[in-house]
Amino acid sequence: MQDLIILGTGVHGGEMAHIVERINRQQPTWRLIGHIAPSPTDRTVFAGHPILGLVDVLAAYPGAALVADNEFPRNIPLPEERLISLVDPGSFVHPTAHIGRGCVIYPNCFIGLNAVLGQRVFMLSGCIVNHDNRIEDRVVLASGVILAGCVQVEEGAYLGQSSTVRQYLRIGRNSLVGMGSVVVKEVPPQVVVAGNPARKLRDK
Protein backbone atom coordinates (compact mmCIF):
# COMPACT_ATOMS: atom_id res chain seq x y z
CA MET A 1 0.00 0.00 0.00
CA GLN A 2 1.19 3.51 -0.80
CA ASP A 3 0.88 6.48 1.53
CA LEU A 4 -1.77 9.01 0.48
CA ILE A 5 -2.53 12.57 1.58
CA ILE A 6 -5.83 14.31 0.83
CA LEU A 7 -5.49 18.04 0.19
CA GLY A 8 -8.55 19.61 1.75
CA THR A 9 -10.51 19.63 4.97
CA GLY A 10 -13.98 20.44 3.66
CA VAL A 11 -17.02 18.23 3.14
CA HIS A 12 -15.65 16.72 -0.05
CA GLY A 13 -12.31 15.95 1.58
CA GLY A 14 -14.17 13.95 4.20
CA GLU A 15 -16.14 12.09 1.54
CA MET A 16 -12.95 11.36 -0.35
CA ALA A 17 -11.57 9.65 2.75
CA HIS A 18 -14.53 7.27 2.58
CA ILE A 19 -13.91 6.65 -1.15
CA VAL A 20 -10.38 5.59 -0.14
CA GLU A 21 -11.92 3.10 2.30
CA ARG A 22 -14.23 1.75 -0.43
CA ILE A 23 -11.29 1.31 -2.81
CA ASN A 24 -9.29 -0.50 -0.14
CA ARG A 25 -12.16 -2.94 0.50
CA GLN A 26 -11.93 -3.99 -3.15
CA GLN A 27 -8.14 -4.07 -3.21
CA PRO A 28 -5.81 -2.66 -0.55
CA THR A 29 -4.21 0.28 -2.32
CA TRP A 30 -3.86 3.42 -0.18
CA ARG A 31 -2.71 4.12 3.37
CA LEU A 32 -4.39 7.45 4.15
CA ILE A 33 -2.00 9.24 6.49
CA GLY A 34 -3.91 12.50 6.80
CA HIS A 35 -5.16 15.76 5.34
CA ILE A 36 -3.57 19.07 4.39
CA ALA A 37 -5.52 22.19 5.37
CA PRO A 38 -5.80 24.99 2.78
CA SER A 39 -5.46 27.65 5.50
CA PRO A 40 -4.46 27.76 9.18
CA THR A 41 -6.80 25.86 11.51
CA ASP A 42 -6.97 24.94 15.19
CA ARG A 43 -8.26 21.46 14.35
CA THR A 44 -5.88 18.52 14.53
CA VAL A 45 -8.18 15.76 13.26
CA PHE A 46 -10.59 15.63 10.32
CA ALA A 47 -12.77 12.71 9.16
CA GLY A 48 -10.93 10.44 11.58
CA HIS A 49 -7.48 11.30 10.21
CA PRO A 50 -4.84 13.79 11.37
CA ILE A 51 -4.52 17.23 9.85
CA LEU A 52 -0.83 17.26 8.99
CA GLY A 53 -0.57 21.01 8.52
CA LEU A 54 -0.43 23.34 5.53
CA VAL A 55 0.96 22.56 2.08
CA ASP A 56 4.52 23.40 3.17
CA VAL A 57 4.68 20.17 5.23
CA LEU A 58 4.41 18.02 2.09
CA ALA A 59 8.21 18.02 1.88
CA ALA A 60 8.21 15.86 5.01
CA TYR A 61 6.25 13.17 3.14
CA PRO A 62 8.14 12.81 -0.17
CA GLY A 63 6.81 9.32 -0.89
CA ALA A 64 3.13 10.11 -0.36
CA ALA A 65 0.70 10.36 -3.26
CA LEU A 66 -1.62 13.39 -3.32
CA VAL A 67 -5.21 14.10 -4.32
CA ALA A 68 -7.04 17.42 -3.85
CA ASP A 69 -10.68 18.23 -3.21
CA ASN A 70 -12.45 20.67 -5.53
CA GLU A 71 -12.12 23.61 -3.13
CA PHE A 72 -8.37 23.37 -2.56
CA PRO A 73 -6.96 26.71 -3.80
CA ARG A 74 -5.86 26.59 -7.43
CA ASN A 75 -3.08 29.11 -6.84
CA ILE A 76 -1.21 26.65 -4.59
CA PRO A 77 1.25 24.77 -6.83
CA LEU A 78 1.23 20.99 -6.47
CA PRO A 79 3.82 18.45 -7.66
CA GLU A 80 1.95 16.93 -10.61
CA GLU A 81 4.02 13.76 -10.59
CA ARG A 82 2.60 12.91 -7.14
CA LEU A 83 -1.07 13.42 -8.05
CA ILE A 84 -3.22 10.29 -8.24
CA SER A 85 -6.88 9.84 -9.14
CA LEU A 86 -9.58 8.39 -6.91
CA VAL A 87 -12.28 6.47 -8.77
CA ASP A 88 -15.01 5.01 -6.59
CA PRO A 89 -15.45 1.29 -7.32
CA GLY A 90 -19.19 1.89 -7.78
CA SER A 91 -18.61 3.87 -10.98
CA PHE A 92 -18.33 2.57 -14.56
CA VAL A 93 -15.29 3.59 -16.59
CA HIS A 94 -15.01 2.23 -20.13
CA PRO A 95 -11.59 0.66 -20.87
CA THR A 96 -11.01 3.16 -23.71
CA ALA A 97 -11.62 6.19 -21.48
CA HIS A 98 -8.65 8.18 -20.20
CA ILE A 99 -8.58 9.76 -16.75
CA GLY A 100 -5.83 12.29 -16.04
CA ARG A 101 -3.94 12.88 -12.81
CA GLY A 102 -5.67 14.18 -9.71
CA CYS A 103 -9.25 13.39 -10.74
CA VAL A 104 -11.93 12.41 -8.23
CA ILE A 105 -14.86 10.29 -9.40
CA TYR A 106 -17.66 9.76 -6.88
CA PRO A 107 -19.97 6.70 -6.81
CA ASN A 108 -22.51 5.88 -9.53
CA CYS A 109 -20.83 7.80 -12.33
CA PHE A 110 -20.59 6.64 -15.96
CA ILE A 111 -17.61 7.46 -18.19
CA GLY A 112 -18.13 6.18 -21.71
CA LEU A 113 -16.23 5.06 -24.79
CA ASN A 114 -13.20 7.25 -25.66
CA ALA A 115 -14.06 9.89 -23.08
CA VAL A 116 -11.04 11.93 -21.94
CA LEU A 117 -10.69 13.69 -18.60
CA GLY A 118 -7.84 16.13 -18.00
CA GLN A 119 -6.16 16.79 -14.68
CA ARG A 120 -8.02 17.48 -11.42
CA VAL A 121 -11.51 16.92 -12.81
CA PHE A 122 -13.94 16.61 -9.88
CA MET A 123 -17.07 14.58 -10.58
CA LEU A 124 -19.77 14.19 -7.92
CA SER A 125 -22.20 11.27 -7.70
CA GLY A 126 -24.44 10.22 -10.55
CA CYS A 127 -22.73 12.04 -13.42
CA ILE A 128 -22.91 10.67 -16.96
CA VAL A 129 -20.03 11.49 -19.30
CA ASN A 130 -20.93 9.85 -22.59
CA HIS A 131 -18.76 8.72 -25.49
CA ASP A 132 -16.08 10.93 -27.01
CA ASN A 133 -16.43 13.71 -24.45
CA ARG A 134 -13.38 15.88 -23.76
CA ILE A 135 -13.22 17.42 -20.30
CA GLU A 136 -10.26 19.71 -19.71
CA ASP A 137 -8.36 20.42 -16.48
CA ARG A 138 -9.99 21.56 -13.23
CA VAL A 139 -13.58 21.10 -14.36
CA VAL A 140 -16.22 20.41 -11.69
CA LEU A 141 -19.33 18.37 -12.45
CA ALA A 142 -21.84 18.60 -9.60
CA SER A 143 -24.16 15.70 -8.81
CA GLY A 144 -26.27 14.33 -11.64
CA VAL A 145 -24.72 16.23 -14.57
CA ILE A 146 -25.41 14.57 -17.94
CA LEU A 147 -23.19 15.19 -20.95
CA ALA A 148 -24.38 13.72 -24.24
CA GLY A 149 -21.80 12.45 -26.73
CA CYS A 150 -18.99 14.54 -28.23
CA VAL A 151 -19.22 17.41 -25.74
CA GLN A 152 -16.14 19.51 -24.95
CA VAL A 153 -15.89 21.17 -21.55
CA GLU A 154 -13.03 23.63 -21.35
CA GLU A 155 -10.70 24.26 -18.44
CA GLY A 156 -12.12 25.55 -15.19
CA ALA A 157 -15.81 25.26 -16.09
CA TYR A 158 -18.38 24.41 -13.41
CA LEU A 159 -21.56 22.49 -14.29
CA GLY A 160 -24.24 22.71 -11.63
CA GLN A 161 -26.29 19.90 -10.19
CA SER A 162 -28.57 18.03 -12.64
CA SER A 163 -27.60 20.17 -15.63
CA THR A 164 -27.75 18.55 -19.07
CA VAL A 165 -25.71 19.32 -22.18
CA ARG A 166 -26.78 18.37 -25.72
CA GLN A 167 -24.33 16.48 -27.95
CA TYR A 168 -21.60 18.23 -30.01
CA LEU A 169 -21.53 21.36 -27.87
CA ARG A 170 -18.69 23.26 -26.22
CA ILE A 171 -18.79 24.69 -22.70
CA GLY A 172 -16.33 27.58 -22.61
CA ARG A 173 -13.39 28.08 -20.31
CA ASN A 174 -14.24 29.14 -16.72
CA SER A 175 -17.95 29.31 -17.49
CA LEU A 176 -20.67 28.32 -15.02
CA VAL A 177 -23.79 26.34 -15.91
CA GLY A 178 -26.52 26.74 -13.31
CA MET A 179 -28.19 23.80 -11.61
CA GLY A 180 -30.96 22.12 -13.59
CA SER A 181 -30.03 23.91 -16.81
CA VAL A 182 -30.62 22.38 -20.24
CA VAL A 183 -27.83 23.49 -22.56
CA VAL A 184 -28.81 23.36 -26.24
CA LYS A 185 -26.24 25.76 -27.73
CA GLU A 186 -22.58 26.56 -27.21
CA VAL A 187 -21.62 28.36 -23.99
CA PRO A 188 -18.93 31.05 -24.43
CA PRO A 189 -15.98 31.35 -22.05
CA GLN A 190 -16.32 33.30 -18.80
CA VAL A 191 -20.11 33.50 -18.62
CA VAL A 192 -22.90 32.30 -16.35
CA VAL A 193 -25.83 30.53 -18.00
CA ALA A 194 -28.97 28.99 -16.51
CA GLY A 195 -32.48 27.88 -17.39
CA ASN A 196 -34.30 25.59 -19.82
CA PRO A 197 -33.12 26.30 -22.41
CA ALA A 198 -30.01 27.78 -20.83
CA ARG A 199 -29.39 31.45 -21.55
CA LYS A 200 -26.68 33.88 -20.55
CA LEU A 201 -27.31 35.67 -17.27
CA ARG A 202 -24.09 37.65 -17.00
CA ASP A 203 -20.35 37.65 -17.52
CA LYS A 204 -18.43 35.81 -14.87
Within the chain, what is the greatest distance between any pair of CA atoms? 51
Given the residues 12, 35, 49, 131, select the one marked as catalytic.
Answer: 131
pLDDT at 111: 98
Q: Is the pLDDT at 13 greater than 90, yes or no?
A: yes
pLDDT at 55: 92
pLDDT tens, residue by residue, 93-132:
999 999 999 999 999 999 999 999 999 999 999 999 999 9
Task: Please report the domains of the chain, with CATH numbers, ordered by start residue.
Answer: 2-75 (3.40.50), 86-203 (2.160.10.10)
pLDDT at 134: 98
pLDDT tens, residue by residue, 129-174:
999 999 999 999 999 999 999 999 999 999 999 999 999 999 999 9
| Of 66, 112, 109, 107, the residue nearest 88 (C-alpha) | 107
Q: Is the pLDDT at 47 greater than 90, yes or no?
A: no
Instruction: Identify whether 131 is a catalytic site residue.
Output: yes
Q: Is the pLDDT at 76 greater than 90, yes or no?
A: no
Neighbours of 58 (CB within 10 A): 18
Q: Does residue 197 have a cis bond before it (omega within 30 degrees)?
A: yes
pLDDT band for position 65 (cuts 50, 70, 90): very high
**This prediction's pTM:** 0.95
Cα angle 62-68-69, degrees, rounded to a multiple of 5: 155
pLDDT band for position 42 (cuts 50, 70, 90): confident
Cα end-to-end distance, the chain, whole Å: 43
pLDDT at 8: 95
